Amino acid sequence: MSDIPLPPAGLRPAAARRFHAPTDEAPAARLVLILLAVLGLGVLVLAPLATVFAEALSRGIGTALASLSDPQAWSAIRLTLLVAAIAVPLNAVFGVAAAWAITKFDFRGKAFLITLIDLPFSVSPVVAGLCIVLTFGANSLIGGWLVAHGFPIVFALPGIVLATMFVTFPFVARELIPVMIEQGRAEEEAALTLGASGWRVFRTVTLPNIRWALLYGVLLCNARAMGEFGAVAVVSGKIRGQTATVPISIEMLYNEYMTVAAFSMAALLAFLGLVTLLIKTALEIRHADQLTAQRRH
Partner 1 sequence: MVIQIDEISKLFGTTAALHPVSLSIPGGALVALLGPSGSGKTTLLRILGGLEYPTSGRVLFDGQDATGMTVQERRAGFVFQSYALFRHMTVFDNIAYGLNARPRASRPSKAEIARRVTRLLDLIQLPQIADRYPSQLSGGQRQRVALARALAIEPRMLLLDEPFGALDAKVRKELRQGLREIHDTTGLTTVFVTHDQDEAMELADLVVVMSMGRIEQIGRPQDIRTRPATPFVRDFIAG
Query: Which residues sit at the interface with partner 1, rule CB under 8 A?
Result: 186-187, 189-197, 200, 204-205, 208-209
CA distance 38 to 35: 5
Q: Is residue 196 within 8 Å of 204, Cβ to Cβ?
A: yes
Chain length of the chain: 297
Exposed e or buried b per residue across 133-162, where buried means at least 16 C-beta atoms within 10 angstroms of its C-beta: beebbeebeebeebbeeeebbbbbbbbbbb
Q: Is residue 174 within 8 Å of 116, Cβ to Cβ?
A: no
DSSP state string for 134-182: HHHSTTSHHHHHHHHTT---TTSHHHHHHHHHHHHHHHHHHHHHHHHHH
Given the complex with partner 1, which of 107 and 257 has the nearer CB atom? 107
Q: Residue 209 Cβ, how far from partner 1 at the closest point, in Å?
A: 6
Q: Is residue 64 within 8 Å of 56, Cβ to Cβ?
A: yes
Q: Residue 183 Cβ, how far from partner 1 at the closest point, in Å?
A: 9
Q: Residue 207 Cβ, how far from partner 1 at the closest point, in Å?
A: 10
Q: Residue 243 Cβ, how far from partner 1 at the closest point, in Å?
A: 43
Given the complex with partner 1, which of 23 and 193 has the nearer CB atom? 193
Based on its alpha-carbon atoms, the radius of gyration of the chain, rounded to whole angstroms, reads 25
CA distance 263 to 10: 62
Q: Residue 37 Cβ, how far from partner 1 at the closest point, in Å?
A: 36
Q: Residue 186 Cβ, how far from partner 1 at the closest point, in Å?
A: 4
Q: Residue 179 Cβ, how far from partner 1 at the closest point, in Å?
A: 13
Eight-state DSSP code of residue 257? T
Q: How far is CA 63 from CA 50, 156, 289, in A?
A: 18, 31, 46
Given the complex with partner 1, which of 68 and 192 has the nearer CB atom? 192
Given the complex with partner 1, which of 48 and 208 has the nearer CB atom? 208
Q: Residue 206 Cβ, how far from partner 1 at the closest point, in Å?
A: 11
Exposed e or buried b per residue across 179-217, where buried means at least 16 C-beta atoms within 10 angstroms of its C-beta: bbeebeeeebeebeeeebeeeebbeebbeebbebbbbbb
Given the complex with partner 1, which of 86 and 293 has the nearer CB atom? 293
Given the complex with partner 1, which of 146 and 180 has the nearer CB atom? 180
Given the complex with partner 1, which of 42 and 208 has the nearer CB atom? 208
Q: Is residue 261 within 8 Å of 95, Cβ to Cβ?
A: no
Given the complex with partner 1, which of 50 and 190 has the nearer CB atom? 190
